[in-house]
Amino acid sequence: MAKKPTGKNTSGRGQRDLTVKVKTARGRRLSSTRWLQRQLNDPYVKRAQAEGYRGRAAFKIMELDDKFRFLVPGARVVDLGCAPGGWIQVAVPRINALGEKQGKAVGRIIGVDLQEVEPIPGAEIHQLDFMEDDADEIVKGWLGGRADVVMSDMAASSSGHKQTDHLRIIALCEAAAQLAFDVLDEGGAFVAKVLAGGAEGELQKVLKQKFAKVANVKPPSSRSDSSEKFVVATGFRRVQDADEA
């Protein structure tokens, strides 16, 4: 039986493992061998397998929430580009989506992705292109109102060209932010992955106008050789729609 993820950070509880070395097989590129060796020796990959998470990215949202506390019992959460589901696995127990924490408010989480995602108990997952014109209204309909948190770990397919990849992921993050502006409730939070590279300045400017606090963080589980970082914007300042005034 697969272990049920608890959403708790168990960092430091494991034992030291021996390094696994991988030989380059005939027909396999050296870069593929290096990737495989890195995966086999990555402590977060091992923890994810041992603790029942769908990927090492689960520990990134875990560490971010440990610091900023946006995944609280009763929170209404939207996870954009949620495949394979690791962030949702962390969020479900933290927002009490299954109602297992007696006396605590029960949260709700909606996962959205272009591809089909295996079900996760406590979450509602939908196939949707969140860039569609009416995506914000569709998401609010599924959620039954506005969200307290919109989060995204999306990344465009790598082209091998750092600047191109940077621009692509910033474009995704900007699109996610625009949807967040449409669906977040007053005081809500936006959490998303970006790549350091210089083109994120305009996004940062807009976020600082829309939120009370904006932090840029590289969690411990983010690989040291990666240029990824995460923006955590809290205290959303929502402008009421004309029909709400």
Instruction: Kindly list the structural domains of the chain, giving each domain's residue range(s) and its CATH number in brackets, ordered by start.
Output: 55-236 (3.40.50.150)
Average pLDDT value for residue range 155-173: 76
Query: DSSP of 101-135, one letter per residue?
Result: STTS---EEEEEESS-----TTEEEEE--TTSTTH
> What's residue 35's pLDDT?
39
Residue 193 annotated in active site: yes
Catalytic residue among 193, 205, 210, 218: 193
Would you say 112 and 139 are in contact if contact means Cβ atoms under 8 Å apart? yes
For residue 90, which of 217, 5, 3, 154 has the smallest C-alpha distance? 5
For residue 1, the model assigns a pLDDT of 44
Element (H, E) at 32: helix 30-41
Known binding-site residue numbers for S-adenosyl-L-methionine: 85, 87, 113, 129, 153
Give me the mean pLDDT over the 183-199 stretch. Answer: 88
Pick from 81, 21, 94, 17: nearest CA to 55: 81
pLDDT at 7: 85
Pick out the residues of the known binding site. 85, 87, 113, 129, 153
- Compute CA 37 distance to the chain's CA centroid, rounded to the nearest angstrom: 25
DSSP 216: E
113-144 per-position pLDDT tens digit = 999 999 999 999 999 999 999 999 999 999 99
Going by DSSP bridges, is the β-strand pair 76-80/108-113 parallel, antiparallel, or unpaired?
parallel
Mean pLDDT calculated for residue range 207-236: 92
Phi, psi of 124 (to 5 degrees): -115, 115
For position 12, what pLDDT does the model report? 55
Give the Å distances, CA to CA, from 47 to 44, 93, 95: 5, 18, 22
